[in-house]
Amino acid sequence: MIQAAIAAAVLVLGVVSIPAAQAATAGHITHLSGTLSAKRADGTSKLLSVKSEVLEGDMLNTETETYARIKFADGGEVVMRPGTQLKIENYAYNAAKPEGDNIVMNMLKGGLRAVTGLIGKRNREKVSFQTETATIGIRGTHFGALLCQNDCGGVPTTGGKPPPNGLHVDVTNGSISMSNKAGTIQINAGQFGFAANANTPPVPIPPQQGIQVTMPNSIAQNKGSGKGIGKGDEVECKF
Q: What is the pLDDT of residue 223?
A: 53
CA distance 201 to 26: 32
What is the pLDDT tens value at each position of the chain, 239 positions in all? 545 554 444 444 444 444 445 789 999 999 999 999 999 999 999 999 999 999 999 999 999 999 999 999 999 999 999 999 999 999 999 999 999 999 999 999 999 999 999 999 999 999 999 999 999 999 879 999 999 999 998 898 888 889 999 999 999 999 999 999 999 999 999 999 999 999 999 999 999 999 999 899 888 776 544 455 654 333 333 22
- By CB atoms closer than 10 A (0-12, 13-18, 19+), residue 108 is middle
Q: What is the pLDDT of residue 23?
A: 81
Taking alpha carbons only, the member of 91, 52, 55 closest to residue 69 is: 52
Query: What is residue 142's three-state secondary structure?
Result: strand
- By CB atoms closer than 10 A (0-12, 13-18, 19+), residue 38 is buried
Taking alpha carbons only, the member of 234, 231, 211, 212 closest to residue 222 is: 234
Tell me the pTM: 0.84
Q: What is the pLDDT of residue 134?
A: 98
Q: What is the pLDDT of residue 235?
A: 32
Q: What is the pLDDT of residue 165?
A: 97
Residue ranges per structural domain of the chain: 24-220
Query: What is residue 139's three-state secondary structure?
Result: coil
CA distance 107 to 80: 10
Taking alpha carbons only, the member of 147, 76, 158, 153 closest to residue 117 is: 76
Into which CATH architecture does domain 24-220 fall?
Answer: Sandwich (2.60)
In contact, 190 and 171? CB cutoff 8 Å? yes
